[in-house]
Amino acid sequence: MTAVTLRERKYRQARARIEREAVALFTIHGIDRVTVDQIAVAADVGKGTIYNHFAAKEDIVASFLIRLDRQALSDFPRIAVSAATPAEALIEAAWSLLAAKADHQGFVRAFLTRLFIADGLTANLAEFQQTMDAALGDFFRALLARDDCDGEADIETLILTFKVMHMGLSSLWAMEGPPFVTARRMTEIQMTLFAKGLTPCPSSPI
């Protein structure tokens, strides 16, 4: 295991403090009303230090949401094997990524807005996409190993399909707001349809 240097540890601590204080301010005042100067004061760092860690305050939002997604992804291995059916596994997995952010709908809207207008992924988003792809790959391999799934499906196609569907569900979820009744229902419908492609077709009677 590579030892973490003092410099790296201080860097991580500063980044975590900036994110924590920014999220607290965003929660109270809203993202638009909070300035980088205010975040710097709350985190007890210089304004330049903020920009050493984040290109813009919206990137602090992205960092925070990525952390929540990582926590949700950590439960995917359990979901893949413990859910009663492939459809229920997909529904629980997809919804868990949204449920983890239930208290931060405004953050998700800001993140999606920035994502849609950006020319490309930031470094932390590109890194997270690799993490998400790996987690989804493990999830689908475990799912396809079940007796009630067709083990011949292409993993890369399944990952891309899930991510495309989840982006649409995330957009609906962010626009709808609590109690997210429509987003929940559409998650159930879409993931149930997705699961139909994973289950073996019944044999035709002779």
* pLDDT tens column, 2-51: 567 988 899 999 999 999 999 999 999 988 899 999 999 999 999 999 99
What pLDDT sits at residue 89?
98
What pLDDT sits at residue 200?
67
Output the 3-class SS for 3-50: CCCHHHHHHHHHHHHHHHHHHHHHHHHCCCCCCHHHHHHHHCCCHHHH
Helix, strand or coil for residue 88? Answer: helix
Of 162, 149, 21, nearest in space to 95 by CA: 162
Determine the angle formed by the axes of helices 36-43 and 57-73, rounding to 10 degrees.
Answer: 60
Maximum Cα interatomic distance, the chain, rounded to a whole number of Å: 76
Of 48, 65, 52, nearest in space to 15 by CA: 52
Is it the case that residue 204 has pLDDT exceeding 60?
no
What pLDDT sits at residue 152?
77
Is it the case that residue 159 has pLDDT exceeding 50?
yes
Rg (C-alpha) for the chain, rounded Å, is 20
Mean pLDDT of 166-179: 96
**CA dist., res. 14 & res. 26, Å (int):** 18
pTM score of the predicted model: 0.86
Is it the case that residue 68 has pLDDT exceeding 80?
yes
Higher-pLDDT residue of 66, 201: 66
Is it the case that residue 64 has pLDDT exceeding 60?
yes
Is it the case that residue 170 has pLDDT exceeding 90?
yes
Over the stretch 90-146, which tens digit does the pLDDT of each residue have? 999 999 999 999 999 999 998 888 888 877 767 778 888 999 999 999 999 999 999
